[in-house]
Amino acid sequence: MTATGSTNTAVTAEEFARLTEPYRAELLAHCYRMLGSVHDAEDQVQETLVRAWRSFDRFEGRSSLRTWLYRIATNACLRAIETRRRRPLPSGLGAPAEPGTRPGPASPELGWLEPIPDALFTAPPADPAQVAVSRSSMRLALVAALQYLPGRQRAVLILRDVLGWSAAEVADLLGVTTVAVNSLLQRARAAVGQAAPAESEIREPDRGRQRVLLDRYAAAFEAADVTGLLRLLRADAGFEMPPQPAWFTGRAAIERFLGDVVLTRPGRFRLRPAAANGQPALAAYQHDGDGVYRAHGIQVITVTGPLISHVVSFNDPGLFGVFGLPPVLDQAG
């Protein structure tokens, strides 16, 4: 942060950065929930800090610095929502494809929902229970559902149910009455109720059991063992691949798609562990026949009970840099 163009003489740029740095990760998480894009969220966090620095001499301390920053960030996101289309997943745009359907062309122009690496929004845990709740509020299904809410409903739901603000605090931020806030919250809760995580999903999962499941999935994927992979999926599992708008649900449809289009030969893919949206994830590298495995997509996995219930493969090599992953693997991986 620099002081360029600012008349602020109360604190130096270095002091301001020191004061605000502890809140950067949670502000990024807040902006991501609002906007569904890690890139857009980073832009709005930067905008928030620039605006806060320029007006810091007017910060009178009537609220905490954290609350003040959230006010600026929320309003920045609301302005951004007014000028940008929502970011969906394929499953939010229409019915699943019929078994045997050959996917059509990708649609990158739609501006799809993006995953966010856990490393960008998690800090050393002071309270494991609170960390679990924070992760649950970043789950893909919930963030995707939020994108369909009008901006103010989105903000009210996040501020009230995720951050624990009072109705009076939210009303003051939005310049409305508490009655209006409660009405917005009621409508927002009804709209996203099915996407809200269950109590069992808020508790930290059995990491060892989950790791075994993911290892089996990765091994089956790399070996093009479609039959073995299907044993790890729930009967009603979903599989989607933005920017490809077609998506599939049920083992039969997923089997046809993977067998015909994706897992056509052993060794075509190599998968490496990752973590996104508080969920397990895998980075998929695809072999192009020249001895090199190149970045292909980030698969975010939803585990329900002992099986996988949903896979979203974000087939965008540009995401690998966000996750701190190399763009290529050599033959040795």
CATH number reported for the structural domain that contains residue 18 in this entry:
1.10.1740.10
- Parallel/antiparallel/unpaired status of strands 307-314 and 233-241: parallel
Of 44, 67, 84, the last residue of a domain is: 84
Q: Is residue 220 part of a domain?
A: yes
- Parallel/antiparallel/unpaired status of strands 279-287 and 307-314: unpaired
Domain total of the chain: 2
Q: Is residue 164 part of a domain?
A: no
CA distance 180 to 277: 31
CATH number reported for the structural domain that contains residue 213 in this entry:
3.10.450.50
* Angle, helices 167-174/178-192, rounded to nearest 10 degrees: 100
Domain range spanning residue 211?
A: 205-329
Please give the structure tokens belonging to residue 80: 């951004």
Q: Is residue 144 part of a domain?
A: no
- pLDDT tens track of the chain, all 333 residues? 444 344 444 678 889 999 999 999 999 999 999 999 999 999 999 999 999 998 888 776 667 899 999 999 999 999 999 998 889 999 999 999 998 888 888 888 889 999 999 999 986 655 555 555 567 889 999 999 999 999 999 999 999 999 999 999 999 999 999 999 999 999 999 998 866 655 545 555 677 899 999 999 999 999 999 999 999 999 999 999 999 999 999 999 999 999 999 999 999 999 999 999 999 999 999 997 787 999 999 999 999 999 999 999 999 999 999 999 999 996 555
Of 84, 110, 131, the last residue of a domain is: 84
Quick check: pTM over 0.85? Answer: yes
CA angle at residue 125 from 160 to 19, to 5 degrees?
A: 70
Q: Is residue 322 part of a domain?
A: yes
CA distance 313 to 263: 14
* Cis before 243? omega within 30: yes
Q: Is residue 267 part of a domain?
A: yes
Of 59, 84, 109, the last residue of a domain is: 84
